[in-house]
Amino acid sequence: MADTILLERAGDIATVVLNRPEKLNALTKPMWQRLGDVFLELSGDDAVRCIVLRGAGEKAFAPGNDISEFERERANVEQARAYGAVMTRTIEAIGGCRHPVVAQIHGVCVGGGLEIAGLADIRICGESSRFGVPINKLGLVMAYAEIGALIRLAGESVALEILLEGRVFGAAEALQKGLVTRVVPDAQVAAEAGATARRIADGAPLVARWHKQFAHRLRDAAALTAAELEEGYACYGTEDFRIGREAFLAKAKPGFKGR
């Protein structure tokens, strides 16, 4: 299934593509597996500074899982448990990725597609994009790993509104609910996502990883340890801090090295 999850590299920016446009990029179990593999690979690659995640074409990011697959892959509790383990691994791989992730959202982004896009750090969509999780019409629940990400993104009240009503809604409402970061004209989604990724990649990569690590750690109500507090000053001992400081004083563009 490697051809249904594409990995493209352009210098320090990686692009991951859900590549099943004939099905609006509907997700299958092998796609979930491969998507997790790719994100684990990228997370361990220090040459990566930003990841763009998108669906192939301009009609959809993803409409969720391919329901036609359920009869053979998700027809009973045992099969659903195995399928869920694959999904949970991938959700953790994307959510735990060390590098910043930008979701480039064209068109439909519902169900599992919204789950995946919601794991990105920045989510950019077009004005005609559509969102929602209408799984109540299928008699399905959003399991713990999946609903946790939605609650972190939009809050419990909004998450329950989305799940209980099963309504599909537009980009303006998605922005108001916090599901997306930015809405732009449809024709500008790719350019805006690319420019966003470039701005991130031009910054100090260690700083981006630290900021993401710190933000994720603060989801936990446990008190920060002395070692964790100390890590907030580690940047001052990096070569990139010297490079950034000198470039700022010289009014020049810094060439960060990631060390």
Q: CATH no. for residue 121? A: 3.90.226.10
Regarding whether 219 and 162 lie in a shared domain, the answer is no
Regarding whether 77 and 29 lie in a shared domain, the answer is yes
| pLDDT mean over 91-111 | 97
Q: Own/partner pairs for 205-210, CB < 8 Å, 24+ apart? A: 205/12, 205/46, 205/49, 205/99, 205/240, 205/256, 205/258, 206/235, 206/238, 206/240, 206/258, 206/259, 207/235, 207/240, 208/49, 208/50, 208/99, 208/100, 209/98, 209/99, 210/234, 210/235
Provide the pLDDT for residue 145: 86
221 lies in which domain range? 204-249
Which of 47-56, 62-71, 114-123, 163-172 is predicted with the least confidence, judged by mean pLDDT?
Answer: 62-71
- Residue ending a domain, choose from 161, 179, 200: 200
Distance, in Å, from the CA atom of 215 to the CA atom of 224, rounded to the nearest integer, reads 12
Q: Which residues contact 184 (CB under 8 A, 6 or more apart)?
A: 124, 125, 126, 127, 192
| pLDDT mean over 120-148 | 94
pTM for this predicted structure: 0.94
- Residue ending a domain, choose from 159, 181, 200: 200
Q: How confident is the model at residue 19 (pLDDT cuts 50, 70, 90)?
A: very high
Provide the pLDDT for residue 73: 87
Contact 141, 164 (CB under 8 A): no
For the chain, what is the domain count? Answer: 2
Regarding whether 88 and 23 lie in a shared domain, the answer is yes
169 belongs to a structural domain: yes
Question: How would you classify the pairing of strands 13-18 and 50-55?
Answer: parallel
The mean predicted confidence, pLDDT, of the chain is: 95
Torsion angle of C-alpha atoms 170, 171, 177, 183, degrees rounded to 10: -170
257 belongs to a structural domain: no
E strand or H helix at 112? helix 112-118
Q: Per-residue pLDDT for 204 more than 80?
A: yes
Contact 100, 201 (CB under 8 A): no
Regarding whether 75 and 13 lie in a shared domain, the answer is yes
Calculate the CA 225 to chain-centre distance.
28
Provide the pLDDT for residue 215: 95
258 belongs to a structural domain: no
255 belongs to a structural domain: no
CB burial of 183-198 (b: ≥16 within 10 Å; e: otherwise) equals bbebeebbebbbebbb
Provide the pLDDT for residue 2: 64
Regarding whether 223 and 98 lie in a shared domain, the answer is no
| pLDDT mean over 50-66 | 95
Regarding whether 187 and 160 lie in a shared domain, the answer is yes
Residue with tokens 């590098």: 99
Which of 22-31, 124-133, 144-153 is predicted with the least confidence, judged by mean pLDDT?
Answer: 144-153
Regarding whether 124 and 68 lie in a shared domain, the answer is yes
Q: Per-residue pLDDT for 71 more than 90?
A: no
- Per-residue pLDDT tens digits for 157-199: 999 999 999 999 999 999 999 999 999 999 999 999 999 999 9
Distance, in Å, from the CA atom of 203 to the CA atom of 185, rounded to the nearest integer, reads 26
User: In 3D, which of 160, 57, 48 has the Cα closest to residue 97?
Assistant: 48
Instruction: Give the residue with greater pLDDT, 121 vs 1.
Output: 121
Regarding whether 215 and 101 lie in a shared domain, the answer is no
259 belongs to a structural domain: no
